């Protein structure tokens, strides 16, 4: 029977495919697609782990004290039986062969399948055996993690021999796992948790695939291989759709392909408004490998390179100076002389360094991660790590225009400490004789304290970039990754708009460059509003550039400027903005179709 699950729409479009469930096991499970040439090795790895656990059970049983209760021996027999059952091991090996999962993923996927069968059993005794199965799988996973390490992700996307498209369903996906999935076959994502600007949602948008987050029970209701539709516009997931619904969505999919094709033609059109204002459309990237897509989309530079993604998926080992220098240089060279704004590491909150999901981090690791040791706070508390990164950045600046940007500054003391580190690093580089270049220095404005004391920031920095994702989170006291308060996360809130407007106006008045690099910049629903505030530089995922450019090409900034005070002083800015933007009878303000 078809069911509908509602969540938050975070990445537009329609995806139709078979569900791949990523279980949230108690053991941290790597999810990796392996190269087809490694399938036999991976199956052998699985069976070797099974044999190790079987021996563990034998030893445990042999060493049971004479006075141990009889049930203990019987329990070990049950565990041994479950371990040897083909429904566990044989079926896991099938996941490896058919889907190219690594062994850990295959075992946890099969646990998910079997656990549901146990849940549906009438007999209470049998139902309780699920806990035994979980224990057996946990042992298997531990054994796998101690043996031959899990293979590295396959660099090329797999297509499983023409199978139906796959969509990923998970309770939560760590940003680090999202990076692996970025190279994979998934055509859409669904998660139980997360907000619109959680980093999982941001990475999904950067991949330009439909995604729904905060879908609460989705990973409990959807089963492996279910046919599902992800409606990324409505935030809807339809499980096991009827043929009529399926046909309707296939039609919508074709329509949105056509629309994308139309927008793609704007790629090389300069972003100039009707009244001749040139607007800078920049790209947000996560890895140097994203740079070609930025150029391809027509970006005139990188406005935000989130360098923290270089620090993930490495078992807690930090990248050294050479490795970072190489990555930054590759991004600079790939952009062929266009400016590259690299943000110093922003680890923390919902971007933990390794594997952990944001909900694990929220609940187990720190009390209040969004308010804790993240971004520049972490960098200043780890000065040698920070200086390593700064040295790598200035050395990369020798190869092309680099701008360095500091995240989450809130106070003058942090600014001064940051500048002291920079001065020291420049002295070190001069003494070492290594080549390095100069770089403009910018501050991210993403904490209300910074927006409210902007003159201080304008004095110390060459440019500002407003991080609306965090500015909204901290202004409204709404955790951006928490689906329970996602309905309160409101970019239209007058307090947010007033901070944005005053920051943009002050920067412009001081003659300093200012851009917005949060998700608002890439959402065409906000393009006119931001233009009306005087913003002339927007940084977003490459995939969003064409839609925003379409808005720019239809805008008249002089007309828009006249509406700003009414919008930001309104109790309901969204409605006020919409009514001011809708063409009045006799007005020549009607949108012109530019991409048809
Ligand atoms: C922001 O906060 O708006 C931003 C761009 O930074 P991040 O999303 O990486 O926190
Ligand atoms: Mg931020």
- What is the structure's pLDDT at 205? 84
Q: Name beta bridge partners: 351.
A: 348
Helix axes 468-476, 494-509, angle to 10 degrees: 130
- What is the structure's pLDDT at 32? 80
DSSP helix/strand/coil, 62:
helix
Other CB atoms within a 10 A radius of the CB of residue 254 amount to 11
Answer with the residue of higher pLDDT: 587 or 295: 295
Q: Determine which one of 31, 199, 501, 541 is catalytic.
A: 199
Distance CA 121, CA 125 (A): 9
Give catalytic status of residue 517 as yes or no: yes
Q: Which atom of ligand 1 is nearest to the CA of 473?
A: 2
Give the Å distance between the CA of 42 and the centre of ligand 1: 38
- Whose CA is closest to 302, among 515, 588, 148? 515
Contact between 423 and 387 under an 8 Å Cβ cutoff? The reply is no
Give the Å distance between the CA of 466 and the centre of ligand 2: 9
Distance CA 552, CA 155 (A): 37
Distance CA 440, CA 306 (A): 17
Q: Determine which one of 31, 100, 501, 517 is catalytic.
A: 517
Encode pLDDT of 117-132 as tens digits. 888 888 877 777 888 8
Ligand 1 atom 6: residue of nearest CA: 467
Distance CA 156, CA 159 (A): 10
Distance CA 337, CA 82 (A): 60
DSSP helix/strand/coil, 76:
helix
Give the Å distance between the CA of 199 and the centre of ligand 2: 10
Encode pLDDT of 508-519 as tens digits. 999 999 999 999
Burial of 322 (0-12, 13-18, 19+ CB in 10 A): exposed
Residue 508 parent element (H or E): helix 494-509
Q: How many residues does the chain have?
A: 596
- Among 97-106, 343-352, 535-544, top mean pLDDT goes to 535-544
Other CB atoms within a 10 A radius of the CB of residue 48 amount to 15
Ligand 1 atom 1: residue of nearest CA: 467
Give the Å distance between the CA of 520 and the centre of ligand 1: 10
**Mean local confidence (pLDDT), 294-316:** 91
DSSP helix/strand/coil, 35:
coil
Summary mean pLDDT of the chain: 88
pLDDT band for 183, please (50, 70, 90 cuts). low
Helix axes 124-146, 39-62, angle to 10 degrees: 110
- Ligand 1 binding pocket mutation candidate from 284, 287, 517 (most atoms within 8 A of CB): 517
Q: How far is CA 160 from the centre of its chain?
A: 25
Q: Which atom of ligand 1 is nearest to the CA of 518?
A: 3
Q: Which of 230-239, 311-320, 345-354, 497-506 has the lowest mean pLDDT?
A: 345-354
Check whether 23 has a pLDDT greater than 80. Answer: no
- Ligand 1 binding pocket mutation candidate from 195, 307, 346 (most atoms within 8 A of CB): 346
Determine if residue 213 is left, alpha or beta; phi over 0 gives left, psi from -120 to 50 gives alpha, anything else beta: beta
Ligand nearest to the CA of 518: 1
Ligand 1 atom 3: residue of nearest CA: 467
Give the Å distance between the CA of 444 and the centre of ligand 2: 8
Give the residues surrounding ligand 1 with Cβ less than 6 Å away: 202, 304, 306, 346, 446, 467-470, 517-518
Give catalytic status of residue 199 as yes or no: yes
Q: Which atom of ligand 1 is nearest to the CA of 304?
A: 5
Q: With pLDDT > 70 as the criterion, what percentage of the chain qualifies? A: 90
**Mean local confidence (pLDDT), 4-9:** 93
**Mean local confidence (pLDDT), 216-245:** 92
Ligand 1 atom 9: residue of nearest CA: 306
pLDDT band for 591, please (50, 70, 90 cuts). very low
Distance CA 16, CA 60 (A): 48
Q: Which atom of ligand 1 is nearest to the CA of 199?
A: 8
pLDDT band for 171, please (50, 70, 90 cuts). confident
Q: Residues 6 or more apart from 6 whose CB is under 8 A from it? A: 215, 235, 236, 237
Phi, psi (deg, nearest 5) at residue 227:
-85, 125
Encode pLDDT of 369-421 as tens digits. 889 999 999 999 999 999 999 999 999 999 999 999 999 999 999 999 999 99
- What is the structure's pLDDT at 596? 33
Burial of 110 (0-12, 13-18, 19+ CB in 10 A): buried
- Whose CA is closest to 299, among 538, 24, 22? 538
Q: Name beta bridge partners: 212.
A: 9, 190
- What is the structure's pLDDT at 55? 93
Distance CA 467, CA 476 (A): 14
- Ligand 1 binding pocket mutation candidate from 343, 376, 467, 520 (most atoms within 8 A of CB): 467
Give the Å distance between the CA of 364 and the centre of ligand 1: 23
What is the DSSP-derived secondary structure letter of residue 364?
I
Determine if residue 381 is left, alpha or beta; phi over 0 gives left, psi from -120 to 50 gives alpha, anything else beta: alpha
DSSP helix/strand/coil, 282:
strand
- What is the structure's pLDDT at 152? 53
DSSP helix/strand/coil, 596:
coil
Give the Å distance between the CA of 330 and the centre of ligand 2: 24
Q: Which atom of ligand 1 is nearest to the CA of 519?
A: 3
- Whose CA is closest to 407, among 476, 332, 305? 305
Largest Cα–Cα separation, the chain: 96
**Mean local confidence (pLDDT), 301-305:** 98
Encode pLDDT of 146-164 as tens digits. 766 655 544 444 544 446 7
Check whether 289 has a pLDDT greater than 70. Answer: yes
Q: Which atom of ligand 1 is nearest to the CA of 202?
A: 8
- Ligand 1 binding pocket mutation candidate from 194, 199, 305, 407 (most atoms within 8 A of CB): 407
Encode pLDDT of 239-255 as tens digits. 999 999 999 999 999 99
Give the Å distance between the CA of 298 and the centre of ligand 1: 22
Ligand nearest to the CA of 471: 1
Ligand nearest to the CA of 206: 1
| Beta strand pairing call for 227-231 and 14-22 | antiparallel
Contact between 350 and 199 under an 8 Å Cβ cutoff? The reply is yes
- What is the structure's pLDDT at 72? 80
């Amino acid at each position: 029977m078809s069911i509908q699950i509602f969540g938050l729409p975070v990445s537009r479009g329609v995806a139709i495919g078979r569900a791949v469930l990523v279980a949230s096991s108690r053991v941290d499970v790597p999810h990796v697609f392996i190269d087809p040439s490694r399938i036999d090795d991976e199956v052998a790895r699985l069976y070797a782990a099974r044999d190790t656990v079987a021996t563990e059970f034998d030893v445990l049983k042999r060493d049971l004290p004479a006075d141990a209760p009889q049930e203990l021996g019987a329990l070990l027999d049950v565990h041994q039986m479950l371990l040897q059952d083909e429904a566990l091991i044989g079926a896991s090996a099938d996941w490896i062969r058919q889907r190219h999962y690594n062994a850990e993923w295959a075992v946890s996927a099969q646990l998910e399948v079997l656990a549901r069968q146990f849940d549906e059993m009438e007999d209470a005794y049998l139902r309780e055996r699920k806990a035994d199965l979980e224990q057996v799988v946990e042992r298997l996973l531990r054994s796998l993690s101690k043996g031959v390490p899990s293979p590295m992700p396959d660099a090329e996307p797999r297509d499983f021999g023409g199978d139906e498209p796959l969509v990923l369903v998970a309770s939560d996906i760590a940003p680090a796992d999202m990076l692996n999935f970025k190279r994979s076959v998934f055509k859409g994502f669904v998660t139980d948790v997360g907000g619109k600007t959680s980093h999982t949602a941001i990475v999904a948008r950067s991949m330009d695939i439909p995604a729904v987050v905060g879908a609460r029970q989705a990973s409990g209701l959807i089963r492996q291989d279910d046919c599902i539709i992800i409606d990324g516009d409505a935030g809807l997931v339809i499980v096991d759709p009827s043929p009529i619904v399926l046909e309707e969505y296939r039609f919508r999919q074709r329509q949105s392909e056509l629309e994308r094709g139309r927008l793609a033609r704007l790629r090389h059109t300069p972003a100039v408004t009707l009244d001749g204002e040139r607007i800078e459309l920049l790209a947000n990237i996560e890895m140097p490998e994203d740079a070609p897509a930025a150029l391809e989309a027509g970006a005139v530079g990188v406005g935000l390179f989130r360098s923290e993604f270089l620090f993930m998926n490495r078992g807690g080992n930090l990248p050294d100076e050479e490795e970072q220098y190489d990555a930054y240089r590759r991004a600079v060279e790939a952009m062929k002389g266009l400016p590259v704004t690299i943000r110093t590491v922003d680890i923390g909150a919902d971007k933990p360094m390794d594997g952990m999901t944001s909900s694990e981090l929220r609940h187990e690791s720190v009390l209040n991660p969004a308010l804790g040791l993240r971004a520049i706070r972490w960098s200043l508390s780890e000065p040698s790590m920070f200086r390593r990164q700064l040295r790598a950045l200035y050395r990369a600046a020798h190869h092309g225009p680099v701008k360095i940007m500091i995240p989450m500054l809130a106070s003058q003391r942090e600014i001064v400490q940051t500048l002291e580190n920079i001065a020291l690093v420049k002295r070190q580089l001069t003494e070492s004789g290594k080549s390095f270049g100069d770089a403009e220095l910018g501050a991210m404005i993403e904490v209300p304290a910074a927006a409210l004391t902007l003159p201080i920031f304008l004095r110390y920095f060459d440019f500002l970039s407003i991080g609306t994702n965090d500015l909204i989170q901290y202004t409204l006291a709404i955790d951006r990754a928490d689906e329970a308060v996602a309905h309160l996360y409101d970019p239209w809130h007058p307090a947010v708009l007033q901070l944005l407007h005053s920051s943009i106006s002050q920067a412009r008045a001081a003659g300093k460059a200012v851009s917005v690099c949060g998700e608002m910049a890439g959402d065409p629903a906000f393009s006119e509003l931001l233009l009306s505030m005087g913003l002339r530089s927007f940084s977003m995922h490459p995939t969003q550039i064409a839609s925003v450019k379409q808005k720019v090409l239809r805008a008249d900034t002089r007309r828009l400027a006249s509406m700003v005070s009414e919008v930001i002083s309104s109790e309901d800015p969204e409605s006020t903005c919409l009514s001011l933007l809708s063409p009045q009878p006799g007005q020549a303000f009607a949108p012109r179709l530019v991409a048809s």
